[in-house]
Amino acid sequence: MASSSEMPEARPRHRRPKQQANPLKKGILLFLAAKRVTVQDHVSPQEDEQPTLRIADLPKRFTIYPPLLLLPYNFRTHSPPWQVFYEALSEEEKAVLLRHVVEGGFEGMGISRVAINAPIAADEIGDAQAQAEASCGGTVKTENVLRSPSHLLPIFGDWGAAKTTESGSKPATEDFERAFWVSASQHRGITQCWAPIYTMFSRGNVSEKARILGVDAGLGQSRSSFQGLAQSELGEDVNCVDVVDFYVGIGYFAFCYLQRDVRTVWGWDINPWSIEGLRRGCEANGWRCLVVLVDNEGRLQGMTVRELAEIWVESTTIGGGAEIRCVAFLGDNKWSVPLMLALHEELKARSPSHRGLNVRHANMGLLPSSRGTWEHATVLSLKTDARAKGSWLHVHENVDIIQIDAWKVKVVHEIETLTKLSDRGSKNRISCVGVHEVKTYAPGVMHCVFDIQIKPYH
């Protein structure tokens, strides 16, 4: 048996550095290695008081919409040691850090731009809470109707033309072409497009999209019912149904209705970048979209109401994918009633058999309150071909969580009053057939959708 002195000398064991699976942390570690900054897996109790940078201190959360990498608002303040380190970097060093993240951490993922989602300001949360507290009476403020991404901070890459578009003005075609566009697909492969520095994309609406589509949101919830898109509920084929989306945006909800095979979505929005995103999204999904400009006096630009009726009817007659599935009005939805009722009459006048518009669903997706369009939705439901069959209004509101039941009663009462004022000769039963809690908007404030059914008595 060999003596201990004859035993072969033990070689020191070197642990291989653990492969970092998180691409954000991987990119940061590559930068730290280039700067010869030591990062420890663990810190001993004696070292706890020292500002030692550990792997656990590094930010790790992100969202990818290729080619965009979106970092959370607390990226720079993820932990005290990381905040101290990051704030000590020069602007040039921060640029080098981001280049390591993009080209090293996210290598092969097609990332070329990085932005940070800034936090919602305290005064905005206060506005949301105040609005919810006053939601059972009085006037509420509606902020950011353009849905501009006021909390997006681009920090890396080419973001295209500077943000100079004013409310009410329309960018030129070359402005759209120069801008940086992103796309994403959610349920059933529906593609949505947006220009991040001009418009927003809300992941939080995913459950409401799923509900319209009739699929599981993938959030551990059971399928939510969404009335009015089945033949048994409609009393007619869904491809005879028109939908008005008063705040259509880039097509959050409009595309779900189109996927359910409604005849046409008539969308309204005042943000030209949203309408361009809607158009691009329709094109990506194989739906023909017609953009119609509405001036500040409520007049169509470039065509008359009669010409719009002719274009739409001709497209539906051709069929075979050539039909116009979405008409996007770039203008204030306060003109929706006179313009769309005029269009309804033009369509009916074309032939005795033509029914005109058939507005069976109206979507009102503006936060904190969509109250400005309740009357528009009610009138279009009662004055078009939907009058004899009934319709559904989808009212989006920010509501104090303890007042949701009170809000349900309030919305029904107000819509009931509006139906009596809008069509004195008809008798309708107004009911709330469902309340869907979409997401928390602020502490104690819930984004709710109230499904209101207008059903005529026969």
Domains of the chain in sequence order? 21-117+149-163+172-198 (no CATH), 205-456 (3.40.50.150)
- Confidence band (pLDDT; 50, 70, 90) for 268? very high
Q: Which of 11-25, 293-307, 411-425, 431-445 has the highest mean pLDDT?
A: 293-307
Q: What is the mean pLDDT of residues 266-273?
A: 96
Mean pLDDT of the chain: 85
Dist. CA 250–CA 241, nearest whole Å: 21
Q: Which of 33-42, 280-289, 352-361 has the highest mean pLDDT?
A: 280-289
Instruction: State how far the Cα of 158 lies from the Cα of 180, in Å rounded to an integer.
Output: 8
Helix then strand then coil, in percent of the chain rounded to 5, is 40, 20, 40
Q: How far is CA 248 from CA 88, 253, 269, 380, 392, in A?
A: 44, 7, 6, 16, 17
Angle at CA 132, nearest 5°, toward 131 and 137? 80
Query: For residue range 416-454, what is the model confidence (pLDDT) as tens digits?
Result: 999 999 887 778 999 999 999 999 888 999 999 999 999
User: Can you give the pLDDT at residue 221?
Assistant: 44
Which residues, other chains included, contact 400 with Cβ-Cβ below 8 Å and sequence gap of 6+? 129, 132, 133, 135, 444, 445, 446
pLDDT of 109 strictly over 70: yes
142, pLDDT greater than 50 = no
pTM, entire model: 0.85
Please tell me the predicted confidence (pLDDT) of residue 261: 96
Q: DSSP H helical segments within 103-253, as ranges?
A: 122-133, 173-178, 206-213, 231-234
Helix (H) or strand (E) segment spanning residue 452: strand 445-456
Q: Taking 60 as the threshold, does the pLDDT of residue 202 lie above it?
A: yes
Pick 317 or 330 by higher pLDDT: 330
pLDDT digits (tens, 9 = 90+) for 337-364: 999 999 999 999 986 667 899 999 999 9
Name the more confident of 5 and 183. Answer: 183
| pLDDT digit string, tens, across residues 320-332 | 668 999 999 999 9
Percent of all residues in the chain with a pLDDT value above 70, rounded to a whole number: 81
Is residue 138 very low, low, confident or very high in pLDDT (cuts 50, 70, 90)? Answer: very low
Please state which of the ranges 24-33, 272-281, 310-319 shows the lowest mean pLDDT.
Answer: 310-319
Task: Kindly indicate the confidence band of residue 18, based on its pLDDT and cuts at 50, 70 and 90.
Answer: low
The per-residue pLDDT for 326 is: 98
Which 3 state secondary structure label does DSSP give 395?
strand
Angle between helices 336-349 and 374-383 (to 10 degrees): 10
Please identify which residue in the block is written with the tokens 């033509």: 354
